[in-house]
């Protein structure tokens, strides 16, 4: 198996589950979603989604071969020192610096800045409005427009200089509790993702409008997951790279309903941290 490329391995040798994924139905207008309670009469989200049954392949046999430059995601071993991932102060004080260190090491970047995170737990989301349920729509967090916009919003006077050099936006996704038996994360191989299936969509916050990509279905897209992820495992997701060496600048991902989940599986608990990644030393 040593000499085989990822593509050679995928259909013949990998286990897969057939699972429904939700895609955007192509539409004429720009889709809009609200990250908060919209004004009266305004829908939380415009645009229809359609379900497609998609084979989702077990990427565990590929772990050593995956790269952010090609597939756009990798799995790492990482033991966090965080004691309580539901403590927002501990996330900022302990976990953000850990994520910055891990991503620096994994990418060789000169500078990594963690700037945002989401805790997901369906059992707790009704009680705490900072806690979200797993996402169930294929998407990418940033677009060709919102990636540099985020750098400008977060980096102040340094932004224009930083934007002249290569930069990326990378998420670090991890289970808070393992093994993940319900709503695992699936990742689209960036090499299989065509930019024509990336649909820029407004994401409204109370104080600003962001932009994400909704994804339309294409049978060429190849999806992977890491079954039963543990709390000492983390996935890096390259959402954007201004000058990628491998495949696309973008990738795509979502949580999904795994038909092989045990009926009594506890709700998935996870945390994703978003980071700005700058590659050029001295910038």
Query: Which residues in this chain contact ligand OGA in the complex, by CB under 6 A?
Result: 120, 134-135, 141, 171, 173, 185, 253, 255, 270, 272
User: What residues contact residue 204 under an 8 Å CB cut-off, 6+ apart?
Assistant: 32, 33, 34, 35, 36, 38, 210
Closer residue to ligand OGA (CB): 142 or 279: 142
DSSP state of 266: P
Which positions from 106 to 145 touch Fe ion by CB under 5 A, shown as an x/- string? -----------------------------------x----
Q: Out of Fe ion, ligand OGA, none, which partner does residue 185 contact, by CB within 5 to 8 A per kind?
A: ligand OGA
Cα dihedral 150→155→157→161 (10° resolution): -80
Give the shortest CB-90-to-Fe ion separation in angstroms. 23
Closer residue to ligand OGA (CB): 5 or 112: 112
Closer residue to Fe ion (CB): 100 or 141: 141
Give the shortest CB-283-to-Fe ion separation in angstroms. 27
Give the shortest CB-48-to-ligand OGA separation in angstroms. 20
Nearest-CB residue for ligand OGA? 255
Burial per residue of 149-159, b for 16 or more beta-carbon CB atoms within 10 angstroms, e otherwise: bbbeeebeeee
The H-assigned helical ranges of the chain are 6-13, 88-90, 96-107, 146-155, 159-162
State how far the Cα of 30 lies from the Cα of 28, in Å rounded to an integer.
7
Nearest CA to 86 among 114, 115, 121?
Answer: 121
Closer residue to ligand OGA (CB): 166 or 253: 253
Q: Out of Fe ion, ligand OGA, none, which partner does residue 175 contact, by CB within 5 to 8 A per kind?
A: none
Burial per residue of 129-144, b for 16 or more beta-carbon CB atoms within 10 angstroms, e otherwise: eebbbbbebbbbbbbb
Closer residue to ligand OGA (CB): 267 or 280: 267
Q: Out of Fe ion, ligand OGA, none, which partner does residue 134 contact, by CB within 5 to 8 A per kind?
A: ligand OGA
State how far the Cα of 153 lies from the Cα of 199, in Å rounded to an integer.
23
Closer residue to ligand OGA (CB): 107 or 275: 275
CA atoms within 13 A on the CB side of 47: 26
Give the shortest CB-139-to-Fe ion separation in angstroms. 6
- Please give the residue ranges that form the binding site for Fe ion (CB under 5 A): 141
């Amino acid at each position: 198996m040593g000499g085989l490329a990822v593509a050679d391995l995928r259909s013949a040798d990998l286990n897969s589950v057939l699972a429904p994924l939700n895609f955007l139905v192509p539409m004429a207008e720009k889709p809009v979603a609200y990250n908060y309670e919209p004004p009266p009469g305004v829908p939380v989200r415009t645009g229809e989604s359609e379900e497609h049954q998609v084979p989702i392949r077990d990427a565990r046999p590929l772990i050593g071969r995956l790269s952010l430059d090609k597939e756009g995601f990798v799995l790492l071993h990482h033991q966090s020192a965080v004691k309580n991932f539901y403590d927002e102060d501990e996330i900022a004080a302990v976990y953000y610096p850990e994520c910055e260190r891990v991503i620096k090491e994994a990418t060789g970047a000169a500078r990594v800045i963690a700037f945002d995170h989401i805790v997901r737990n369906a059992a707790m989301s009704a009680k705490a409005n900072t806690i979200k349920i797993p996402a169930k729509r294929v998407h990418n967090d940033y677009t060709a427009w919102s990636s540099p916009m985020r750098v400008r919003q977060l980096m102040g006077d340094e932004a224009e200089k930083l934007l002249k050099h290569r930069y990326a936006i990378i998420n670090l996704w991890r289970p808070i509790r393992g093994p993940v038996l319900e709503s695992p994360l699936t990742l689209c191989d960036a090499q299989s993702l065509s930019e024509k299936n990336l649909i820029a969509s407004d994401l409204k916050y109370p104080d600003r409008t962001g932009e994400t990509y909704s994804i339309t279905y294409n049978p060429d897209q190849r999806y992977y997951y890491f079954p039963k992820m543990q709390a000492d495992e983390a996935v890096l997701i390259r959402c954007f790279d201004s000058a990628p060496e491998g495949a696309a600048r973008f990738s795509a991902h979502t949580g999904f309903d795994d038909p092989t989940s045990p009926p009594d599986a506890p709700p998935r608990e996870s945390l994703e941290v978003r980071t700005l990644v700058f590659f050029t030393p001295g910038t």
